Amino acid sequence: MRFFSVLGLAVLGLAGCESSYGDKSSDLFAPERSTTESPTDPAPADDTSPPTGTVPAPQPSSIPDPGPGTPPAKTGTCTSLSASPNVVSQEVTSEYDASWLDVIDARTPDSQAASVNLDSYTSYSANLYARDFKLAIPTSAQIKGVALEIKRKTAGTKVGDLVVYLATLGAPGSGPKHSAVLTQYGDDRSKQGYWPTGSYTTATYGSETDLWGAGTKLDAATMNASSFGVHFAVANDGSDATAYVDSIKLTVHYCE
């Protein structure tokens, strides 16, 4: 009887030891959890706020994109140069062209003018070339626009522009009239309508933002050349008339 009691106590003691060891075993082999980190609970499904620590996505720039192929704009100093021609000449290209008189008087505004007498109906003047403006534009300049001013009047009611171009006048050619080689830049800027009668008025062609359709062909090297200038002619669509040109001025707008 004592034997079974002792044996029973021994069995109970062994069972108690295994139970105690088993509890420690489960703690020993469980994965460790850092005491410096706290678990992050998943955000609720309807929460649209960014998780803690998330860097906000960069916002689009408010500066407009100039687009591909757009040249960089000059951001330095912008200015203008104005000058009168040092040379004025003419060229008669047809037996029907009327010759100008006193062409040199078309250089500056002094009330002494170049003039041309135009017969009645469908009469054209010879080409008048004003050049060598001695502009001295800096070589690094970007041309922004060109304005031409011609101070003129007419004794007649139906005299108007025939052509008005920016051009480079080259050496005389070998044609029957020995025509000069003329390189025109951009578009004809002649105006519709007739010239005023009586007092002189100034007509402006182009502007500080007008490149006459020539684009980058109007650069400093081209416009500084003594051969660069203005080519124009007039026409008469009425009775006999006389056209007068008192002065010619070229203004170049550019940025560096």
Question: How much of the chain, in percent, has pLDDT values that exceed 90?
Answer: 59
169 vs 151, higher pLDDT: 151
Is the Cβ–Cβ distance between 91 and 169 less than 8 Å? no
The count of other CB atoms within 10 Å of the CB of residue 158 is 16
Is the Cβ–Cβ distance between 172 and 179 less than 8 Å? yes
Chain-wide mean pLDDT for the chain? 77
What's residue 74's pLDDT?
55
Q: What is the pLDDT of residues 9-36, one digit of tens each?
A: 343 344 444 444 344 333 433 334 334 4
Global pTM reads: 0.68
Pull the structure tokens for residue 7.
């044996």
What's residue 169's pLDDT?
84
6 vs 237, higher pLDDT: 237
Q: In the predicted model, what is the mean pLDDT of residues 235-249?
A: 96
Q: In the predicted model, what is the mean pLDDT of residues 30-46?
A: 45
16 to 6, 11, 169: CA distances (angstroms)? 15, 9, 119
HEC letters along the chain: CHHHHHHHHHHHHHHHHHHHHHHHHHHHCCCCCCCCCCCCCCCCCCCCCCCCCCCCCCCCCCCCCCCCCCCCCCCCCEEEEEECCCEEEEECCCCCEECEECHHHHCCCCCCCEEEEECCCCEEECEEEEECCCCCCCCCCEEEEEEEEEEEEEECCCEEEEEEEEEEEEEECCCCCCCEEEEEECCCCCCCCCCCECCCEEEEEEECCCCCCCHHHCCHHHHHCCCEEEEEEEEECCCCEEEEEEEEEEEEEEEC
Cα–chain center distance at 27: 77
Give 92's contacts (C-beta < 8 A, 6+ positions apart).
99, 126, 127, 177
Is the Cβ–Cβ distance between 255 and 77 less than 8 Å? yes
What's residue 172's pLDDT?
55
Within 13 Å and on the Cβ side, how many CA atoms surround 11?
6
Domains of the chain, first to last: 84-255 (2.60.120)
Q: Does residue 40 have a pLDDT over 80?
A: no
What's residue 91's pLDDT?
85
